[in-house]
């Protein structure tokens, strides 16, 4: 049978012996093949992110379907710019139905890969469930889930501030926000009122050296045109 991967001879793993000197911390270590196994691991990671994000529920929220209104102009422009080059943090603040989620989802639908779109209370429920192995099994540990979310290329947090402010929630949100803050990882946040969050979270969100805060003053699209 022909070998498809010349690096590992289709074993997918190999020991570091010819690439490191004896005494090196890598010497003798079993590592995934960079040419086939790493690609497989990354493909699984991307598939898991797609599944967790549930973006099929937001597939219609693209820039072309966004209904602009007075008070959405700056947010619409900021979202388009960010979608082209996700850097730093973009924070949309405004009332219910003002278009925050639509613009955040439009960014996600433009970027498409290496992203996680999360409604904050739902994300916390997902993480909390992983603390109890009896419910979801050892393969879905809290640590694995949290690391996946913390390090994703683009994180979109929808409805920050609507979560129950328990001690566990405050700590989990601080760990998440602080991790991405210290590493300057691209993050989009929507909120009606982020001042309900843990003070250390608020402090990092309001860092103008990292975050662009955009207020959306438009009324709910559900009420537009009604008399």
Contact yes or no for 174/199 (Cβ under 8 A): no
* Residue closest to 163 by CA, chosen among 126, 114, 132: 126
Query: What pLDDT, on the 0 to 100 scale, is given for residue 79?
Result: 98
Tokens of 127: 């993480």
Assess if residue 112 is contained within a domain: yes
pLDDT tens column, 56-106: 888 899 999 999 999 999 999 999 999 999 999 999 999 998 999 999 999
Structural domains of the chain, count: 1
> Is 30 among the domain residues?
no
CATH code where residue 187 lies: 3.40.50.300
What's the predicted TM-score (pTM) here? Answer: 0.77
The whole-number pLDDT of residue 89 equals: 98
222, part of any domain = no
Provide the residue range defining the domain that includes 136: 53-216
């Amino acid at each position: 049978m022909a070998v498809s991967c010349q690096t590992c001879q289709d074993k997918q793993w190999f020991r570091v012996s010819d690439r490191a000197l004896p005494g090196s911390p890598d010497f003798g270590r079993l590592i995934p093949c960079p040419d086939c196994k790493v690609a497989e691991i990354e493909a699984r990671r991307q598939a898991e992110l797609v599944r967790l994000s549930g973006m099929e529920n937001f597939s219609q929220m693209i820039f072309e379907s966004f209904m602009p209104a007075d008070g959405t102009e700056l947010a619409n422009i900021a979202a388009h710019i960010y979608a082209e080059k996700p850097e730093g943090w973009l924070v949309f603040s405004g009332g219910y139905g003002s278009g925050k989620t639509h613009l955040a989802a439009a960014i996600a639908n433009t970027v498409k890969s290496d992203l996680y779109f999360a409604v904050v209370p739902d994300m916390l429920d997902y993480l909390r469930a992983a603390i109890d192995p009896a419910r979801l099994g050892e393969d879905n540990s809290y640590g694995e889930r949290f690391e996946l979310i913390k390090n994703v290329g683009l994180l979109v947090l929808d409805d920050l501030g609507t979560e129950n402010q328990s001690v566990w929630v405050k700590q989990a949100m601080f760990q998440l926000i602080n991790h991405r803050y210290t590493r300057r990882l691209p993050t989009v946040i929507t909120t009606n009122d982020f001042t309900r969050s843990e003070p250390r979270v608020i402090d990092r969100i309001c860092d103008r050296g990292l975050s662009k805060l955009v207020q959306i003053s438009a009324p709910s699209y559900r009420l537009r045109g009604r008399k």
